[in-house]
A and B are shown apart, each in its own frame.
Chain A
């Protein structure tokens, strides 16, 4: 009865609301689809068909080309290294760190918290960071893309607020049995915090995967460029060449460049789209909220 009552009440507002979000979703997805489309299509076909939504003739040339070059595989390997290594280090630093910050009885906790939060609002900026990397001999090493950004302060604060809501009774019995804080963290806290830990593994992972601008500043050997930086350089070249409007209805070499660029973008995006459902499962529950203050 309740249901039939609901069905009748489709108001103008409701119509607007569903239409609005349908359009929003199209706006979110179309640009992504457009990239995939170009990567699989002969660019000349694409240019000549203004309303092309599906590829007329699917071509894998661009993918064949990029996977045949050393550059892409090299960069992909660099990205995988910094993603796996960086995420592992980030978690080994952040989880115990956030756990200590959540301990209300810890002498000096407020100093530690203040030390962490101050950096959200004040930092040294580009040049001092650059000089530090030079000074520490991290310049042109992959460590420069891992250690300086091992902690994302926001993630740290979110983890802190999660740990601080756990009931203290969880730890008490272990403590009476003589367990120390390390044992408690790894035997009790980590196992019950699996969902949030999984979430942050993915968050840090995505962040490292998307790395480009530290690499641009701290790496000068192109063999050590992560995928995103490689892609950026390809795109920037085309921004520059876009100034030559004469290339519209263009030459063969330019055509393949477009496809190659979009194919690289697809390769750089696919892993994110693959882990995305797992990410969403966790953050949709709203664990990430309520951590800013405190």
Chain B
């Protein structure tokens, strides 16, 4: 007890009725700041320095001179960027795939959760959950291998069935533009829909069962209960997840697309990130690539802010921030 700890000093400061200044508080918490240091360092170096690096969007980057000393070129990079058709096509693809992903995949986890929630056989439910969460932990590399084994024209499962049972010509699904986006959405559902249902299941579990009992007494049927009890219970979660989904609208999932696409489907599958990687990073056009990144980040931030504001309006003041 003779240890003269910060805490005691802090207490005695209080006892002396000296006003506790901000500095006292900071000193009192000094170990916490030391603890936070590695995290802060990682954020500053690996998240904020790249944001500073966005300055390159307005520069003609020369490796030897570094970011600061490279000459300014104003908006030249942006003019070049939006000059050729290719980049515009890539922006359109990105938005289409993101939008399609929301339309075709966003509600699947909600439906899974609603249906699972109705399940009374707990063993069966647990088995289902085990299987539908599993694909989330596989990488897109593995999944592209899986898709290849199912869809390849060289004896993939689907083509085997088409040929032997339906007498159809084999289809090179992975290389035909019309099939590319459906494959993207379906494989996304396969990987993430089960996992996505967890958060809704938790929201459903937190609905007070008495609400359902009261609704039953009032003579509500299953459908009415869903509208008047279940939906209000998960609405906020749905809104938050929707905002989070739109917060990636300009990114469209590099990890997935890059593992599934190939030159024959670039016209429908090439997105901003894959284009930047191929055309700007690999070819050393760093200024242009950074301009594309800045455009992407800013548009994305604007979209998030708008969606959040809209959500607040519709959802009685509840948004993400």
Residues of chain A at the chain B interface (Cβ within 8 Å): 6, 13-14, 17-18, 20-21, 24-25, 27-29, 31-32, 34-35, 38, 43, 46-47, 50, 92-94, 96-97, 99-101, 103, 105-108, 112, 115-117, 119-132, 135-136, 147-151, 156, 175-176, 178, 180-182, 185, 206, 210, 212-213, 217, 228-229, 231-232, 235-236, 238-240, 242-243, 245, 247-250, 254, 258, 261-262, 265, 268-269, 272-273, 276, 279-280, 283-284, 286, 288-290, 292-293
Contact = CB atoms under 8 A, between A and B. Distances in A.
B56 to A, nearest CB: 7
Contacts of B235: none
Given A107-B29, A217-B281, A231-B145, A178 B5 contact: yes
A124 B141 contact: no
Q: Which of B35, B47, B281, B320 has the most CB of A within 10 A?
A: B47
A50 B254 contact: no
Given A28-B194, A178-B1, A269-B142, A239 B155 contact: no
A280 B265 CA distance: 37
B34 to A, nearest CB: 8
Given A151-B39, A242-B172, A122 B50 contact: no
Given A112-B36, A238-B152, A240-B262, A128 B290 contact: yes
A158 B265 CA distance: 38
Given A34-B146, A47-B160, A150-B42, A124 B118 contact: no
A32 B138 CA distance: 10
B304 interface: yes
B128 interface: yes
A28 B116 CA distance: 16
A21 B128 contact: yes
B260 to A, nearest CB: 9
A100 B36 CA distance: 6
B310 to A, nearest CB: 16
Nearest to A126: B276
Given A123-B297, A236-B262, A280-B129, 13 more contacts: A24-B112, A32-B146, A116-B43, A122-B297, A124-B50, A156-B39, A181-B31, A181-B35, A243-B172, A249-B155, A254-B154, A283-B198, A284-B198
- A-B residue pairs, 6 tightest by C-beta: A124-B50, A125-B293, A128-B53, A97-B39, A47-B155, A210-B139
Contacts of B5: 178, 180
Given A124-B53, A240-B262, A206 B137 contact: yes
Q: Tell me whether chain A's interface is mostly helix, strand or loop, or mixed.
A: helix
Contacts, number: 304
Given A131-B286, A180-B5, A21 B115 contact: yes
B276 to A, nearest CB: 5
Contact of A213 (B46, B152, B254, B296): B254
